[in-house]
Structure 1
């Protein structure tokens, strides 16, 4: 295995047998080594594959300023996250998490503890990601001896949520969270009820809202395909759910100048009916 790029004395980029870029870590692995020279296999402690072009360059820039131990922590966290989450994680997380963890620990050592204003929403709406982030705090403690709080778990969870947005920034994930929270509140106030957050219907509704918000932020509208007769029947059959959808529509138009398509109105109406009517029945 030959060195393609030296990131620092302990981290290099090489190629595997499938010609994929891999990051190889080990103490003194690249000490006094140059590009093209062979890696001592006995010194290799960790490897991971990079499928996305340009990530190794970003890692190289990052590791000029911070220790590779934070990259090792990120790699452990992402290995665990991949086993727990149902979607593919964006490889930029190696960079984003490494940078975030380094900065979080630096702030901790300086006695600076930042509150995450979305802690409650993230813990509630992104349960799987938050649980992975809680495990991430355990990994950080194992590796550094430093115990970070739930606010940092919420921030790590946001990075995982953001991974679904194909490299878009964390501000986008925050906007998705806020939009979902507002729509859920519109439903609660309209029906004057608390929703059963443990129900399958709630999870389905939440999933629909998340992806709806992501589509909106990316400006990916659904193509109009709804049958007019079917749409009118849904309005008649589920009048309260449709009235709630109209409130959501008004909110989106007022706050974001965004108009729902009839398909989106229909899907929202059906999901709202399902999540509220079954709860009323119970």
Structure 2
């Protein structure tokens, strides 16, 4: 299908009208030496977008941000969709591009980028973090900028929240922050040094994430008979007390209520952590 250029946004992006609807068409050099009403060669078209409700914002980004930043963001998105074998929400084209360009500018100006949730993101969103590491290499090769692992984690979070079945960025950050706070409580209460690479640590984080999800979605929890519960409370008294402290924090700060059986399962995870 042949499109005529309605508006040129940058060298690689134009707006076309299709049945009276504005669409953004992207491709390398698609607008090079072109003017309004020129026909776009179909071979040049790489992506076509309809940004429901966010068309103007996306057009503004494409007009104002450095083209190399936009190109890199699009390459990361395409790579992520290939790795995850699923399309991402269209909003990622705005969210990641805007975030990445701002981060790159800050790094070039000598600012430090920090991410307090780095360790948790590494464990909870492993696939997305690997995509972020691929992006780190791409940015170094293309722009000569070395992004820190903290920024890799920011990219991973953007990719995770753009998955079609994922929670919003706010909800994901809230959950990940709560898990970070729970880990801090465990370290303070049990005096254990967390080895982020250990299987026990990774299992604990994954378990906490699923538990929080189930509470927030009002889903059914694994039950535990009273005898088993009493046994864990007695045998792993210190760990169960720590799990209780975690639950008290989740209730007072986030309004989440953990059932007793869930505290017992967390206590078992904590016991494994210490055994290591």
| CA shift in 2, pair 1:115/1:67, >3 Å | closer
Report if the CA contact (8 A) 2:119-2:196 is conserved.
Answer: no
| CA shift in 2, pair 1:112/1:214, >3 Å | farther
Q: Tell me the equivalent position of 1:247.
A: 245
Q: Tell me the equivalent position of 1:8.
A: 9
SS in 2 for 1:8: strand
Q: In the alignment, does 2:180 pair up with 1:186?
A: no
Report how far residue 200 of structure 1 moved.
4.2
Q: Name the stretch that deviates more: 241-250 or 160-169.
A: 160-169
Q: Distance in 1 between matches of 2:187 and 2:152?
A: 27
Q: Distance in 2 between matches of 1:269 and 1:88?
A: 39
Report how far residue 73 of structure 1 moved.
0.8
In the comparison of the two structures, how many residue pairs are matched? 263
Q: Distance in 1 between matches of 2:187 and 2:206?
A: 17
Q: Tell me the equivalent position of 1:113.
A: 111
Q: Tell me the equivalent position of 2:89.
A: 90
Q: Distance in 1 between matches of 2:267 and 2:189?
A: 11
List aligned pairs for 1:129-208, cutoff 5 A.
Answer: 129-163=128-162, 166=166, 168-169=168-169, 172-195=171-194, 197-208=196-207
Instruction: Output one character per residue of 1:175-210: Cα deviation in whole Å (capped at 9) or x when no partner.
Output: 333211121233344444345544545433312323
Aligned equivalent of 2:230, options 232, 236, 240: 236
Task: Give the unaligned 5+ runs of structure 1.
Answer: none
| CA shift in 2, pair 1:7/1:138, >3 Å | farther
Aligned equivalent of 1:26, options 24, 28, 37: 28
Report if the CA contact (8 A) 1:3-1:12 is conserved.
Answer: no
Q: Distance in 1 between matches of 2:142 and 2:25?
A: 20
Instruction: Output one character per residue of 1:184-240: Cα deviation in whole Å (capped at 9) or x when no partner.
Output: 233344444345544545433312323444667xxx34246665xx35344213213
TM-score (norm 1): 0.72
Q: Distance in 2 between matches of 1:51 and 1:166?
A: 21
Report if the CA contact (8 A) 2:115-2:151 is conserved.
Answer: no
| CA shift in 2, pair 1:186/1:121, >3 Å | same
Q: Distance in 1 between matches of 2:119 and 2:272?
A: 24
Q: Tell me the equivalent position of 1:269.
A: 264
| CA shift in 2, pair 1:38/1:87, >3 Å | closer
Report how far residue 260 of structure 1 moved.
0.8
| CA shift in 2, pair 1:188/1:259, >3 Å | same
- CA RMSD in angstroms, aligned pairs only: 3.8
Report if the CA contact (8 A) 1:81-1:132 is conserved.
Answer: yes
| CA shift in 2, pair 1:195/1:233, >3 Å | farther
Q: Tell me the equivalent position of 1:260.
A: 257
SS in 2 for 1:267: helix
Report if the CA contact (8 A) 1:123-1:154 is conserved.
Answer: yes
